[in-house]
Structure 1
Amino acid sequence: MLMLVVRFLSKMHRGILICGGFALFMLLGAFLLMLPFSQTGTRDVSFVDALFMSVSTVSVTGMSMFDLRYDFTFFGQLVILFLMQVGGLGIMTMMAMVSIYTGRKIRLQERLLIRDSFNLQTPSGMVMLVRKIIGTTLAVEFTSGTLLAVYLYFKYGPIGIYLGYWHAVSAFTNCGMDIMGNDVGFAGMAADGFVSTVVVITMFLGGVGFIALDDVLRHHRWCRLSFNSKFIFTMEAILIPLGVVVYFLLEGNNPETMGHMGTLEKWQSALFMSVSSRLAGFVVFDIHSMMSSTVLFVMMFMFVGAAPVSTGGGIRTTTMGLLMLSLYAWIRGKRDVVLFHKQVDSKCLMKASNVFTLAIVLTFLTAFSVFALEPKDFSFEDALFESVSAFSTVGFSMGLTGEWNTACKIVLMIAMYIGRIGVMTLAITFASHHNSSVKYPKENVVIG
């Protein structure tokens, strides 16, 4: 039945299939979470709340008004885990995986769909890419899950095995959901140095992108890496230490966050939050207690997000990198942007500028809609933070998720949905592919 719907959509437009595929899985997840044996009965779950939970999971945002440990049964938790995995890999990847392992040939239309879902330039090598994505995902999740499961077994008993693999999937897919329960909290588990290290590495591997990881595994040496991989790792080498220093300086003396920690624990927490702020959204302290300056910095980090072709969201590190390089070149009076002794194509710079602009507009519209539709007097900072977090699919929350009215929840669901499919896919869906042969005279516009 699902494949018939997919084939019907595929005849309309590739972008519609990608958007429709995510929407179908989000609806499916909502219906599964509404089943009586998915809930423990500790609280009433409306369809809107179930849909919000499903959208948040498939979009790997991780926002939730539920306590997953007590509000959902083991089956319900497995449904969430499955939706998390589908959201992290992508609908087209999952469909291609089923086709590959059932022996069905991948058609050109499906290769184009995979290409568009990852915003790549060429449909060649898509089957190999899917195999590598699946292989990398299983290898990383199994390795990190096993490390956590063995370690947590001696700490929590048999349930530690379940906790280990759950949080490995949640970290690699950059969803950031946990099932420790609100009374225990993930922060207590992440305070352990071993757990924190494994989760940080897992989040990083999920957020750095499949293509960059494959490039490292194949070439091993920096000089042999592709231009894109070098750019991605360079951005990570800038952003992660920047986040560590900012967290340490701004929150190191805040008694409600990191002020009570020892020096080593402060650096550990700062590293964890630096990585998590752009990727998964796991927290080691109450982010509502952060300094206003830190909140503003975190919003910027969330907006930037992860690397391309990864499980994370945001406008992508390479987009921000290109904008900064373009700005630097313009200030110095240079026409070309040069990186690693290569000139960046002007089309890439225009694409980065358009992605940034569209993301700013959509984030603004999300925040504006929340303010317009929510009668409660929420602070500007909190509402804007939630809007940025939803669109960037990071999942950090000021604790307002359960307090939004239905209209605001729908707005945030739309933001998470767009954030997951990506502004590029959204543009592809509505773009006109008709190239006009008419050429118009050029004119200058006064700027600045």
Structure 2
Amino acid sequence: MEKDSLFKIIYRFFDLIVLTYIVFDFGYSIHEEYHTPKFIGLVLIAIALFAFNVFKYFYYKSKGRKKVALVNSIIIGVLLLISFFISIVNIDLHYLDVLRKIRPILEAGLIFYFIIRLMILVRYVYEVYYNPAIVFVGSFFAIIILGSFLLMLPNATTNGISFTDALFTSTSAVCVTGLIVLDTATDFTTVGQTIIISLIQIGGLGILTFTSFFAFFFRGSSSFKEGLNVRDFIAQDTLKDVLKTALNVVIFTLSVEMLGALFIYSSILDNPNIENKVFFSLFHAISAFCNAGFSTLSSGLSESYIQFNYYMQWVVIVMVVFGGLGYNIIFNFYQYLKIYVLEFFDRNRIHKQVSIMTLNSKIVLYTTGALLLGGFVFLWMSEYNNTMNYHKTLFGKITSTAFNAVTPRTAGFNTIDFTEFTVPTLLFIIFLMWIGASPASTGGGIKTSTFALATLNIFAIASGKTRIQLLGRRISSESTSRAFAILCISLIVIGFAILALLIFEPKGTDLLSVVFECFSAYSTVGLSLNFTPTLTEPSKYVLIVTMFIGRIGMLNLMIGLLRQINHQFYEFPKENILIN
């Protein structure tokens, strides 16, 4: 036990050294005369970490701990070997130039190592804490605060940043909203933009999903409490294979984002106005799939040299729709399609496997399709003689309309200044923003299933039915009650946000801009009528709280705080309340 305690102390010491090096290396401009000891220190840290993990591998008897030490040793060892090979190839260069060449490789290794250690810490925290809802909310809050301090590092911005603006930007990134008080393109450096896109990725997937991914990858097991936490975040019905599902979610997300980045890169390959095309592609692929709406262009996708890149816009559309559907819907549809194809080509397989498309998947897909089609038709009619005049071809008009029908579904990208839209169009976009994406997705809003259940319940009550029946299934009363609770909470929160902004903003502020901003913030969309940069200090905090509540869900927080462990096995006398 004494040696285990000593190892923990050594680990904490290495964690502190690695964190300090990363912060000062990326966050601060270091004088030229300190570059040599800094590079040498980087190599020494990497060698020390490698030696320590090798020693740990031979010392520990537990298979789980040996596996962690082995993986760490392999990762650091491979990076050291690559660095050594580069040094041999460039042996004729000055040693300082050689160190400059191997520096990015070792720095990437240190960052990855620190992420692993951070995930282990987070995993420990939510293993010992019993309330999944509070852990879920707390994880977002912790990442937002950490992101705020990282964005305040000198090298993250071009002209500095206040804590309020850093907190607003961090909240917008973690909550995958896209509202900005500073220009992401000009006010943030590459380091700052990298921090933002990292926060978007963590916010889109959730720190619990990442933690479970590393836990499953390194250890292949998890605790019961960990399964409960992750199950709630990824909307899994049972605890069976919940950690494996989290692993699949991360792999699927990263794969789609890499594929999207390749398509975006191919669409801008001949564009001389975009300098770092690889970073641009990765940034927009992650931002699109996570429905974040952040862009490294000052005017977003409405920038003149990218506005008519229809190929890229269709890539973004597909990424946004995939990200907004939800992982359980995509996986369920994949299983259904897989069984259908196998049965089609092999008739002997018929009835051997049951191809089940869940009612939840059907509701989400039908509702999403109806909203996309309805949005397209409405925008085509309302904007045909207005903003669509910018596009000379039929394909351009179709692309523009489809893009503007998809982007309010919590994506937040724009190919045109939204202030040019007509009032009916803006009101319809507010409606689309309010509905948002689907459950367990990277998007926000009240969700498509909530809107569908509320609509179906209206027709059920009007028809004199006591329950909702759809496609041979009966919807549970708990689902209906939860849907109406979410509807009420959303309108209450948005209403208070609108009232607060009207109080804090100067007299004469445009009401439509305020309403549009608050719906966009709560639904984590990120669209704005150029109102966000003009916000007063108190209004920024109002929107910070609104974005946070919209992302984590006020109902989730209330359930975590108010739900009692004991169940009531009695009922009071029933009495009807007069309504309407």
Q: TM-score, normalised by structure 1?
A: 0.94
Q: Which residue type is aligned with residue 153 of structure 1?
A: L
In structure 2, the partner of 1:384 is 515
Instruction: Using the TM superposition, name which of 164-173 and 146-155 deviates more.
Output: 146-155
- Mapped partners of 1:32, 1:353: distance in 2: 39
Confirm or deny that 1:141 pairs with 2:257: yes
Confirm or deny that 1:193 pairs with 2:310: yes
Distance 1:224 1:172, change over 3 A: same
In structure 2, the partner of 1:307 is 438
| Aligned with residue 30 of structure 1, among 140, 148, 163 | 148
- Give the secondary-structure state (helix, strand or coil) at the position aligned to 2:467: coil
In structure 2, the partner of 1:182 is 299
C-alpha offsets along residues 32-77 of structure 1, whole Å, 9 cap, x if unaligned? 1110111122xx4111001100000000001012222221111111
| Aligned with residue 184 of structure 2, among 35, 45, 68 | 68
C-alpha offsets along residues 345-381 of structure 1, whole Å, 9 cap, x if unaligned? 1211111111111111111111111112223431111
- Give the secondary-structure state (helix, strand or coil) at the position aligned to 1:258: helix
The aligned runs of 1:387-402 (5 Å cut-off) are 387-402=518-533
Confirm or deny that 1:171 pairs with 2:302: no
The aligned runs of 1:185-224 (5 Å cut-off) are 185-186=302-303, 188-220=305-337, 221=340, 224=356
Q: TM-score, normalised by structure 2?
A: 0.73
**Contact 1:231-1:318 within 8 A present in 2 as well:** yes
- Mapped partners of 2:403, 2:483: distance in 1: 28
| Aligned with residue 418 of structure 1, among 529, 549, 555 | 549
Q: Which residue type is aligned with residue 249 of structure 2?
A: I
In structure 2, the partner of 1:106 is 222
The aligned runs of 1:30-109 (5 Å cut-off) are 30-41=148-159, 44-103=160-219, 105-109=221-225
| Aligned with residue 259 of structure 1, among 370, 389, 406 | 389
Q: CA deviation at 1:12?
A: 6.0
- Mapped partners of 2:461, 2:304: distance in 1: 44
Q: CA deviation at 1:190?
A: 4.6
- Mapped partners of 1:213, 1:183: distance in 2: 28
Runs ≥4 in structure 1, deviation > 6 angstroms? none
Distance 1:376 1:25, change over 3 A: farther
| Aligned with residue 249 of structure 1, among 361, 378, 381 | 381
In structure 2, the partner of 1:367 is 498
Q: Which residue type is aligned with residue 167 of structure 1?
A: H
In structure 2, the partner of 1:240 is 372
**Contact 1:6-1:17 within 8 A present in 2 as well:** no
Confirm or deny that 1:226 pairs with 2:358: yes
Gaps of 5+ in 2: 1-11, 13-117, 342-354
Q: Which residue type is aligned with residue 200 of structure 1?
A: I
Q: Which residue type is aligned with residue 261 of structure 1?
A: H
Instruction: Using the TM superposition, name which of 353-362 and 313-322 deviates more.
Output: 353-362
Gaps of 5+ in 1: none
- Mapped partners of 1:431, 1:138: distance in 2: 36
Q: CA deviation at 1:430?
A: 2.0
- Give the secondary-structure state (helix, strand or coil) at the position aligned to 2:438: coil
In structure 2, the partner of 1:323 is 454
Instruction: Using the TM superposition, name which of 94-103 and 355-364 deviates more.
Output: 94-103
Instruction: Using the TM superposition, name which of 357-366 and 421-430 deviates more.
Output: 421-430
**Contact 2:168-2:181 within 8 A present in 1 as well:** no
Distance 1:174 1:183, change over 3 A: closer
- Mapped partners of 1:128, 1:183: distance in 2: 37
Instruction: Using the TM superposition, name which of 6-15 and 294-303 deviates more.
Output: 6-15
Greater Rg by CA: 2
**Contact 2:177-2:410 within 8 A present in 1 as well:** no
**Contact 2:300-2:413 within 8 A present in 1 as well:** no
Q: Which residue type is aligned with residue 397 of structure 1?
A: S
- Mapped partners of 1:153, 1:247: distance in 2: 31
Give the root-mean-square deviation of aligned CA atoms: 2.1
In structure 2, the partner of 1:19 is 137
- Give the secondary-structure state (helix, strand or coil) at the position aligned to 2:186: helix
Q: CA deviation at 1:119?
A: 4.4
The aligned runs of 1:332-371 (5 Å cut-off) are 332-371=463-502
| Aligned with residue 150 of structure 1, among 253, 256, 266 | 266
Q: CA deviation at 1:184?
A: 7.9
Distance 1:136 1:304, change over 3 A: same
**% identity of equivalent residues:** 30
Distance 1:290 1:104, change over 3 A: same
**Contact 1:153-1:161 within 8 A present in 2 as well:** no
Q: Larger relative CO (CA 8 A, sep 6+): 1 or 2?
A: 1
Q: Which residue type is aligned with residue 447 of structure 1?
A: I
Q: Which residue type is aligned with residue 391 of structure 2?
A: M
Q: Which residue type is aligned with residue 449 of structure 2?
A: T
Distance 1:188 1:300, change over 3 A: farther
**Contact 1:386-1:398 within 8 A present in 2 as well:** yes
Q: CA deviation at 1:104?
A: 6.0
Distance 1:190 1:218, change over 3 A: farther
| Aligned with residue 116 of structure 1, among 223, 232, 240 | 232
- Mapped partners of 1:191, 1:315: distance in 2: 32
C-alpha offsets along residues 178-200 of structure 1, whole Å, 9 cap, x if unaligned? 10223984575252221111110
**Contact 1:119-1:424 within 8 A present in 2 as well:** no
**Contact 2:325-2:437 within 8 A present in 1 as well:** yes
- Mapped partners of 1:187, 1:68: distance in 2: 17
- Mapped partners of 1:161, 1:145: distance in 2: 8
- Mapped partners of 1:327, 1:187: distance in 2: 46
Q: CA deviation at 1:322?
A: 0.8
